[in-house]
C-alpha cells in the first residue's frame, strides 16, 4: 500500500521542506527533482501493479471505509498520475538546468505535483476537489512568481477564470452529494444512474464547464494563449503537459464513469464543441507567427479531439480519448521544452515533437490519432473521420510553418529573440528524454494502446454496465 500513499507522502514532506529553502540555489532544485522523480518511480511501479492486478485501494488511518480518506487508484488514474509526474520531472530538470530565478519555484512545482498525484489517486469526490485546488493554487502562484506586468496580468486572468470554474465544480459536487447522499466515487456512480434526468444534466453541465475551462476548450479558452505564451518554457510545459490533464481526466472520470447516461445524451453537443475547438485552434494557430502562441492555440485545438472521442463514446472512444490525451500531453510538453533551445540535436528533438503533433509515424502522436480514426470508423461517424482528417492536415500546416519559421530563417527575421549560444546539456537532456519517450511509444505503441484500453475498461467497470 506504500505505492498508493508513497508518492503523496514524499511530495508532501519535500514540498514543506522546500518551501522553507531558497529555490534559486541549485541544490534545492536538485532536491525537488529528486522528490518528484521518486514519486514518478513509485507511480510507474503502481501503474504496472494496477494493470496486472486491478485497482489498488487504501483507506487512510485504518478508519471505516466511509469515514476515512479513501485512495483508490485504477488504470485510468495510474496512467495519468505517471504521465503527469514524468512530465513534471523533465520540466523541472530543464528549469533547474536553465537556472531558477524565483525562490519559490521548486516548492510550488512539488506542491502542484502533489495536487495532481492526489487527484488522480483519490476515490472521493470531495478529496478530488481539494487536491484539484491544491494543484491550481500552486499553478496560480507559479504564474505570478516571476515576470513583467503582462505576465502578472495573464496570471490574474488565468486565476480568476479558473477559480470561477472551480467554484462551479464545487457547486456541482454539492448538488451531487444532495442527489446521491454519498461522496465515494463508486457509490456515487451507482446512485447517479437512478437520478432524475433534469438533476443529472444540471450536475453534468457544471462539471463540463469546470473541466472545459481547465482544458482550455473553445468557449472557455480565452485565458490560455497569453499565459502559455508568457510563461517560461518549463512552466508552460508543466501547464500544457501536466496541469491540463486534470481536464481530460475529470471529463473521463466524471463524464465517463459517474454520469455515463448524460455523456451519451450530450454526445452530439460534445462532438460539435470539440469540432469547433479543433477548427478554431488550428485556424488561429496558422495565423500566428510566434512559436509559443502557435503552440498555445494548438493546445486549444488538440483538446477538441479528446472531446470528440468522448462524444463517440463506447469502450473504443474512451480508449482513444485516453491514448490521445497521453500522446498530446507528451507532444505539448516536448514542444514547449524544446522550441527555444538551440545547439546540437535541438532541431532533431523539436522535429520529433513536430512530427508527433502532425501525426506522422513513428511517433506517439501517430498512434493517438490512429486510435481516434479507429473509434470514428467503428462508430461509423464519417463526419468525425472527415473532421479528424481536416484537423490533422491543418496541424500539419502550422507545425511545419513554425519549424520552417524558427529553424530556416535568419535570426533577425524571427518573431521571438532566441538565445544566441547553445543550450546547456541539462536543458537538452530534459527535452531529449521526452522526445525519446515519444519515439519509443511510436515504435512500440503496445503500452500506450493497452493503457488506453485498460483505462477505458476501468471506466466501464466503474459505472457497472461492463
Number of residues that bind another protein (CB under 8 A): 32
Nearest approach, Cβ of 182 to another protein (angstroms)?
9
Kindly state whether residue 152 participates in binding another protein, applying the rule CB under 8 A.
Answer: yes
C-alpha cell at 246: 486534470
The distance of closest approach from Cβ of residue 400 to another protein in the complex, given in angstroms and rounded to an integer, is 18
Nearer to another protein, 344 or 409 (CB): 409
Judged by CB, which is closer to another protein: 108, or 312? 108
Which CB sits closer to another protein, 51 or 175? 175
Q: Which of residues 89-148 bind another protein (CB under 8 A)?
A: 126, 130, 133, 137, 140-141, 144, 148
- Smallest gap from residue 164 Cβ to another protein (A): 6
**CB nearer another protein, residue 65 or residue 160:** 160
User: Among residues 171 and 265, whose Cβ is nearest to another protein?
Assistant: 171
**Residue 37 interacting with another protein (CB under 8 A):** no
List 17, 34, 163, 351, residue binding another protein (CB under 8 A): 163
Least Å from the CB of residue 310 to another protein: 26
Using rule CB under 8 A, residue 159 touches another protein: yes
Q: For residues 372-411, which are near another protein according to CB under 8 A?
A: none
Residue 289 binds another protein, judged by CB under 8 A: yes
- Under the rule (CB under 8 A), what is the footprint of another protein? 126, 130, 133, 137, 140-141, 144, 148-150, 152-153, 155-156, 159-160, 163-164, 167-168, 170-171, 173-175, 177-178, 183, 289, 412-413, 415
Amino acid at each position: 500500500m506504500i505505492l498508493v500513499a508513497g508518492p503523496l507522502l514524499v511530495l508532501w514532506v519535500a514540498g514543506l521542506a522546500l518551501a522553507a529553502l531558497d529555490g534559486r540555489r541549485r541544490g534545492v532544485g536538485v532536491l525537488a527533482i529528486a522528490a518528484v522523480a521518486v514519486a514518478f518511480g513509485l507511480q510507474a511501479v503502481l501503474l504496472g501493479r494496477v494493470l496486472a492486478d486491478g485497482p489498488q485501494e487504501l483507506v487512510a488511518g485504518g478508519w471505516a471505509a466511509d469515514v476515512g480518506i479513501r485512495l483508490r487508484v485504477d488504470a485510468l488514474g495510474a496512467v495519468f498520475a505517471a504521465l503527469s509526474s514524468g512530465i513534471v520531472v523533465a520540466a523541472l530538470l530543464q528549469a533547474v538546468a536553465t537556472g531558477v530565478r524565483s525562490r519559490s519555484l521548486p516548492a510550488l512545482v512539488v506542491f502542484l505535483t502533489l495536487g495532481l498525484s492526489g487527484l488522480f489517486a483519490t476515490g472521493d469526490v470531495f478529496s478530488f476537489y481539494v487536491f484539484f485546488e491544491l494543484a491550481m493554487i500552486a499553478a496560480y502562484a507559479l504564474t505570478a512568481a516571476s515576470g513583467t506586468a503582462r505576465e502578472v496580468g495573464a496570471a490574474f486572468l488565468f486565476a480568476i477564470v479558473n477559480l470561477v470554474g472551480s467554484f462551479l465544480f464545487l457547486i456541482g459536487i454539492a448538488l451531487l452529494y444532495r442527489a446521491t447522499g454519498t461522496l465515494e466515487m463508486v457509490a456515487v456512480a451507482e446512485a447517479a444512474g437512478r437520478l432524475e434526468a433534469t438533476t443529472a444534466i444540471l450536475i453534468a453541465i457544471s462539471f463540463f464547464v469546470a473541466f472545459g475551462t481547465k482544458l482550455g476548450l473553445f468557449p472557455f479558452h480565452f485565458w490560455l494563449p497569453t499565459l502559455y505564451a508568457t510563461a517560461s518554457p518549463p512552466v508552460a510545459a508543466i501547464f500544457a503537459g501536466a496541469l491540463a490533464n486534470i481536464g481530460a481526466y475529470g471529463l473521463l472520470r466524471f463524464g465517463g464513469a459517474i454520469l455515463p447516461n448524460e455523456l451519451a445524451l450530450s454526445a452530439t453537443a460534445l462532438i460539435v464543441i470539440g469540432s469547433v475547438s479543433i477548427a478554431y485552434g488550428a485556424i488561429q494557430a496558422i495565423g500566428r507567427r510566434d512559436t509559443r502562441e502557435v503552440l498555445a492555440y494548438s493546445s486549444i485545438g488538440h483538446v477538441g479531439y479528446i472531446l470528440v472521442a468522448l462524444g463517440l463514446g463506447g469502450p473504443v472512444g474512451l480508449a482513444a480519448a485516453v491514448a490521445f490525451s497521453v500522446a498530446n500531453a507528451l507532444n505539448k510538453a516536448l514542444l514547449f521544452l524544446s522550441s527555444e533551445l538551440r545547439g546540437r540535436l535541438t532541431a532533431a528533438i523539436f522535429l520529433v515533437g513536430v512530427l508527433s503533433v502532425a501525426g506522422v509515424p513513428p511517433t506517439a502522436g501517430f498512434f493517438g490519432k490512429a486510435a481516434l480514426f479507429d473509434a470514428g470508423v467503428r462508430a461509423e461517424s464519417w463526419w468525425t473521420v472527415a473532421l479528424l482528417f481536416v484537423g490533422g492536415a491543418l496541424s500539419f500546416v502550422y507545425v511545419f510553418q513554425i519549424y520552417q519559421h524558427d529553424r530556416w530563417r535568419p535570426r533577425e527575421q524571427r518573431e521571438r529573440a532566441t538565445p544566441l549560444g547553445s543550450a546547456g546539456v541539462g536543458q537538452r537532456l530534459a527535452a531529449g528524454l521526452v522526445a525519446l519517450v515519444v519515439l519509443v511509444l511510436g515504435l512500440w505503441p503496445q503500452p500506450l494502446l493497452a493503457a488506453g484500453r485498460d483505462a477505458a475498461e476501468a471506466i466501464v467497470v466503474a459505472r457497472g454496465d461492463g
